Amino acid sequence: MQRTLAILKPDCVRKNLVGKVLAHLQEAGFKIVAMKMVHLNAKTAGEFYAVHKQRPFFNDLVKFMTSGPCVPLVLEKENAIQDYRKTIGATDPAQADEGTVRKLYADSKEQNIVHGSDSPESAAYEIAHFFSNAELVDNFGA
């Protein structure tokens, strides 16, 4: 069983799509093992996206991610990291496959509804960024 860190981004919350996206993820077989709603500030968003610090879109990304509350969650499934990225689709919704979360709900490459870890290393870093071990429940039988 593998875990990945997902975020329902501020555009997802603003557009009242939290329930729809959660349903989509649960129907795709992901178990929720942790979830909260937080409003990131420049420091916490910058630390989360530290790998993108040198990218031209970094400041806009931090601005967007601090523009309202978001919903980080830890999801569990066999092959969760890769399967989740398949379920959400490409970064740019225009390039995303039919039926993916971003194709269905995202407006643009930046305002793209959801985040997902891209490797076991980033999943470990990102999960620890938002959750303590005590906040990760055993939802295997749910």
Active site residues: 115
Task: Count Cβ atoms below 10 Å from residue 53 Cβ, excluding itself.
Answer: 11
Between CA 138 and CA 142 the distance in angstroms is 9
Nearest to 16 by CA among 71, 63, 65, 61: 71
Phi-psi region of 98 (alpha: psi -120 to 50; beta: other; left: phi over 0): beta
Out of 31, 112, 127, 131, which residue is the one contacting ligand ATP (CB under 6 A)?
Answer: 112
Per DSSP, helices labelled H in 69-116 are: 80-88, 101-105
Between CA 48 and CA 62 the distance in angstroms is 9
Out of 32, 61, 104, 136, which residue is the one contacting ligand ATP (CB under 6 A)?
Answer: 61
Out of 37, 42, 57, 120, which residue is the one contacting ligand ATP (CB under 6 A)?
Answer: 57
Q: Which residue is nearest to ligand ATP (CB)?
A: 91
Instruction: Tell me the number of residues near ligand ATP by CB under 6 A.
Output: 10
Per CB under 6 A, 41 contacts ligand ATP: no
Write the binding mask 71 to 110 for Mg ion: x where contact by CB under 5 A, - elsewhere.
----------------------------------------
77 binds, among ligand ATP, Mg ion, none (CB under 5 to 8 A by kind): none
Between CA 119 and CA 28 the distance in angstroms is 20
The least CB distance from residue 32 to Mg ion, in Å, is 20
Footprint on this chain of ligand ATP (rule: CB under 6 A): 52, 57, 61, 91, 109-110, 112, 115-116, 118
